[in-house]
Amino acid sequence: MTNCVLCKDKLKPEDGQLIWRGDDCWVMLVNDPDLPGFCRVIWNRHVAEMTDLSYGEREHIMTLVFAVEEAIRHVMHPDKINIAALGNMVPHLHWHVIPRFKDDAFFPGSIWSVKTQQTSNAMLAARRQRVLELPAAIRVAISGLY
């Protein structure tokens, strides 16, 4: 696929920040003004479904997803974490790891639903400040795995 937006060499600064890169996967912090702390764990190769991976590869990516979740919980203190693997738009396996707050713009619906409320600017600013700690926390969480 030449136009794959999830290939790491296609990542643009406005899309997000590369946090960690391994041989098989990489982790990015998504640039979403409504959802500070939203991350993706992305498989390097074009693979559409989890069952396209070997059992060891499945375990590997999920271990990374859980490490990212743990770091987000530790740094962001969300009310809930959403983990999703939709991938309807590109055949490039990836997991969304999303901190959710009762006052976020989409709560209690999914982040792909219609906004139901407006988060205060002060709360968003505080969360964006906490996000600055997230890349280091994710790297530490992943380094503890290997």
CATH of the domain at 18: 3.30.428.10
Say how far apart CA 116 and CA 106 lie, in whole Å: 5
The answer to pTM > 0.85 is yes
pLDDT in tens, 87-127: 777 778 999 999 999 999 999 999 999 999 999 999 999 99
For residue 36, the SS3 value is coil
Domain count, the chain: 1
Cα 137 → chain centroid: 14
Residue 94's DSSP bridge partners are 42
**Domain limits at 96?**
8-143
Domain membership of residue 79 (yes or no) is: yes
**Residue 116 is assigned to a structural domain of this protein:** yes
Report yes or no on 1 lying in a domain. no
